[in-house]
Amino acid sequence: MSQVLRGGIARLEVMTKFTLATLALASGIYTYIGVRSLLEGSPIAVFFAAIVYSAAVSVGIFAFWTYLMRFLPHIRQPSSRRLMYLAMCVGGIMILAMSAWLNAAALAGSAALQQHMAIATDEYQQRLDQAHGNALAAQGLLPDIQLASQRFSLLSDQERQSGALTGTSGSGTVVQLTAQMSSQLNALATEIDASRERIKTLFESGGKTLEKMRQLTSGTGPVEDRINEFAAQTVTLTGLIADLQQTSIAPAVKRTADDLSKSFIAPAADGRSADLVDRQNQVVTKVEQAIKSQSQALSTAADDILARPEVKPVRFVPLSTAEAVIRYAPDFLPSWAGAISLDLMPAVLIFIHSIVFAAIRREEGEERDEDAMTAGEIMRALKIYNNMQARETHAFQPAREVPNEQRNSEPAPPAPPETAKPPTNVAPITPAVGYQR
């Protein structure tokens, strides 16, 4: 099994390098797209700055994972292996910081900006509806005011025709007082009714602006141009919301209601007899009480309307693609997962290599390294060993004595070298046939 595993690692070495290079290149491309949206300046400066940054990221990622893949699977000491894993974690965090979030910005930047515009549109819709509701709240007082005006008008007519209040018909003090109250309430009702058309016009204009904002959110074309137009539309809508708040008739109802009771001056009775004057004073007193009651009811209703929370204006803040991706990260988890996986995928290959080399060491033994030697290395080792044995044998042979008559004569021809014999206690080494890496 160890031979099969070693052969597989050798055959996949080129594929592994190609995979690392491809992942590093892809990360660099998406990093370039992401970082280009953050830089400002001339187009040429932005282009070269983005190219340099993305190239540095690609080279750094490729070198980092290549170093780890080369060394980590071969480290056996637990302490050294823990340090290598610590280095891998630190490097992975640095890669996420310099590349992964930019990759996510490139993958989901446009969608994140559209999400930002969609959320802003919903907020403006809520503000417009709230301002419209506050402006229309005073319209709910219109039926009561019209009913009170009609009641005073009816009393005036009845008093004029049949003397229903004082018992004496004619246009006297009571008729003038009830007609005056009817006229004031009718003027307030007319003012409230007139404000309805303006409120309707402003609300329709706000609806059209919101429609344009929705079209920009889901439209096509460069997202930067659309978001600039979107920001212009938000300014227009903010002005319409402010106009709706100022159009509310509730403050006018409050002032009119207070004036009805505070500015009431009872007219002098103009009856021709003392009995008629007394009856007129009694009716005037009752009318005054009715006016105060009506004034208090209108004032309380106006206070309830004015107590509603004021619509606070919304300020739209344009975001870059990277900022939008970070702010709305939970909505784009698949894009974040893809961006992070693109940078950290080599860690899985490193774990696979570590598992395979651990299996090889278990199969061959922790101290067996002969399988890593080539045939040439084995032959050179045998040659060195034989030479060492020959030198040792020659050193331990005794020197032969030469006779005296031969010492002064011509030198004898050299004797043929004796073949060195290995010691008997050393086993001969023969090259293993078929050994290869």
Asked if residue 436 belongs to a domain, the reply is no
Asked if residue 339 belongs to a domain, the reply is yes
Cα angle 190-236-250, degrees, rounded to a multiple of 5: 25
- Nearest alpha-carbon partner for 87 in 103, 104, 71: 71
Asked if residue 220 belongs to a domain, the reply is yes
The more confident residue out of 429 and 10 is 10
Expressed as residue numbers, the domain containing 203 is: 113-319
Distance CA 287, CA 297 (A): 15
The 3-class secondary structure across 181-241, one letter per residue, is HHHHHHHHHHHHHHHHHHHHHHHHHHHHHHHHHHHHHHCCCCHHHHHHHHHHHHHHHHHHH
- Percent of the chain at pLDDT > 70 equals 75
- Both 134 and 42 in one domain: the answer is no
- Both 23 and 172 in one domain: the answer is no
pLDDT tens by residue, 176-231:
667 777 777 777 778 777 788 888 888 889 889 999 999 988 888 788 888 888 98
- Both 154 and 300 in one domain: the answer is yes
Average pLDDT, the chain: 77
How many separate domains does the chain show?
Answer: 2
Is the separation of the CB atoms in 210 and 125 below 8 Å? yes
pTM: 0.62
CA neighbours closer than 13 Å in the CB half-sphere of residue 2: 16
pLDDT tens by residue, 52-95:
999 999 999 999 999 998 888 888 888 888 999 999 999 999 99
- Nearest alpha-carbon partner for 64 in 296, 301, 259, 343: 343
Task: Tell me 166's DSSP state.
Answer: T
pLDDT tens by residue, 88-147:
999 999 998 888 888 888 888 888 888 899 999 999 998 898 888 888 877 777 777 777
- Both 96 and 121 in one domain: the answer is no
Asked if residue 284 belongs to a domain, the reply is yes
